[in-house]
Structure 1
Amino acid sequence: MRALTILLFCCFSIFGFSQNNQVFEDANALYNDGKYAEAIDKYETILDSNEHSAELYFNLANANYKLNNIAPTIYYYEKALLLNPEDKEIQNNLSFAQNMTIDAIEKMPDVGFSKIINNAVKTFSTDTWAKIAVGGVLLFVIIFLTYHFSYTSSKKRLAFIVSVVSLIVAFVAVAMAFQKASLDKKNNPAIVFVQESRVKTDPNPASEEVFRLHEGTKVQVIETFEGWQKIKLPDNSMGWIASEDIKLLKFF
């Protein structure tokens, strides 16, 4: 019975994948014919089936760009970039789309030791740092055994040095992995989806307005409270914005 259930699930999955492929091709054809709104509707039906890909988000962003839909354009380029962060075409198109926004916010640069550490941490993903740590430990074990069974002092000296270095690399990689995981956890970006949003000092519509943001601006969400989100901008400005005014990027 369980095998039959799995077989049926696989059949429906294959059917759904094939159907979405056809919808994707139809949407591309509409896009090429200049029917951008209709193409968007088609692409969104694929999203509704819970299928996500960098290519799908990229095409959705392109179609919205043609219609001058600022917030959706940037939102979908950012989603595509999350799934394929090394893609130069996505990066370039996102840069062009960001020129459509009104808010010009200068990023506060990292300085000193923290800049060096953050740059080093961001070199690899958390998984890659973890693999480096495991590799360092394995190398330490192998070299330590070599040290133990070596009979000449020169080989013992070399094995000892290499084993210590590999152990240090493993400890550093573990620290980097935890730091990268911490940075990723804190990274909670969102895009402003309304034409203009009033950012408040407190999560209360009657509180004082600190500044205004416009559609397409990217913010970092750092806290949530009863329909409000506390946000931080690249220039370190902070305030509370209504939850319905922004759309989080990391949820698929």
Structure 2
Amino acid sequence: MKKYTLLICLLIVSGLGLVRAQENGETWFEQANAAYNAGRYDTAVILYEKVVDLGMESVPLYYNMGNVYYKKQDFPMAIYYYEKALKIDPSNEELQTNLAIANRAIVDKIEPVPESFIVKGWHNMRTWLSGNQWAWCSIIAFALFLAALLLFLRARRIGLRKLGFFTGLLFLILFGLSVVFALQLRQAAMTEDQAIIMTPTVNVKSSPSNASVDLFVLHEGTKVSILESADGWNKIRIANGSVGYLPEASMLPF
């Protein structure tokens, strides 16, 4: 009995701690917004970072952090937080616009490898909604599929049965696509397979060693894809397809 009482007490204390942390996070977020609006950007950064340290994450939080770092002309950090927000909501046009503006302020202007029509179309479809929105879409599509299936099974007229069959097939396809898109976006949001260069200038190496050949130079604010990591080095790829190695300390993953 004492064990159960102790367990209940621990659960209550933990729950109260989480509630308190949530309240602190909301308070600091509001204070940070007020500091930002008043032009006190250093104070806003400190308060936003305190919210992040609580483990809280959201599009408004990362969006505001990107904005305050942009105001401070810390473009690599602005890009970093805009990118983190876009991993949660890739369809957000304001984020896309602000990210494009911040990218114009950095040195490297790398032309991406052209995508095929199919790959580009799939990407555009997947990022049309956020992961949560695709999840809700899958629930609605499945409910409509069940309604169409019921119509197909119960209707006596051929026309209604055909309507139930074809609309059911359409909603089933929509359900499948929604589930796939939601899972892919969720996986992308949870995987730190990209990074922003934080070192002002860094030489990309041919192998994970300072003694290896310099392949090309990157500057702060550039986004890279992380292919693999080992012994303090990351194998990276940039938008034009070039591959090389960089120290982990030169970048901030997201």
TM-score bracket for this pair, using the shorter chain length: 0.7 to 0.9
- Worse-matched range after superposition: 193-202 or 122-131: 122-131
Q: Specify whether residues 181 and 90 from structure 1 end up closer, same or farther in structure 2 by C-alpha distance, changes over 3 A only.
A: closer
Q: In the aligned structure 1, how far is the partner of 2:30 from the partner of 2:185?
A: 38
Give the 3-state SS of the residue equivalent to 1:68 in structure 2.
coil
Mapping 1:112-151, distance limit 5 Å? 112-125=117-130, 139-151=144-156
Per the TM alignment, residue 231 of structure 1 is displaced from its structure 2 partner at its CA by 1.5
Q: In the aligned structure 2, how far is the partner of 1:127 from the partner of 1:36?
A: 31
Give the 3-state SS of the residue equivalent to 1:191 in structure 2.
strand
Per the TM alignment, residue 243 of structure 1 is displaced from its structure 2 partner at its CA by 0.8
* CA root-mean-square deviation: 3.5
Per the TM alignment, residue 213 of structure 1 is displaced from its structure 2 partner at its CA by 0.6
The TM-score normalised by the length of structure 1 is 0.76
Partner residue of 1:230 out of 219, 235, 247: 235
- 1:52 corresponds in structure 2 to 57
Corresponding letter in the other structure for 2:196: I
Per the TM alignment, residue 81 of structure 1 is displaced from its structure 2 partner at its CA by 3.6
Q: In the aligned structure 2, how far is the partner of 1:184 from the partner of 1:53?
A: 11
2:252 maps to 1:247: yes
Q: Specify whether residues 152 and 24 from structure 1 end up closer, same or farther in structure 2 by C-alpha distance, changes over 3 A only.
A: closer
Q: Specify whether residues 130 and 13 from structure 1 end up closer, same or farther in structure 2 by C-alpha distance, changes over 3 A only.
A: closer
Q: In the aligned structure 2, how far is the partner of 1:195 from the partner of 1:83?
A: 27
1:124-169: CA deviation from partner (whole Å, max 9, x where unpaired): 4556556656655555554444444444444444444444444455
1:27-52: CA deviation from partner (whole Å, max 9, x where unpaired): 45554555433442333233223333
- 1:98 corresponds in structure 2 to 103
8 A Cα contact 1:186 1:222, kept in partner: no
Gapped regions of structure 1 (runs ≥ 5): none
8 A Cα contact 2:45 2:68, kept in partner: yes
8 A Cα contact 1:105 1:235, kept in partner: yes
1:24-80: CA deviation from partner (whole Å, max 9, x where unpaired): 455455545554334423332332233334343334333333332232222123234
8 A Cα contact 2:106 2:221, kept in partner: yes
Partner residue of 1:72 out of 72, 77, 90: 77
Aligned length: 249
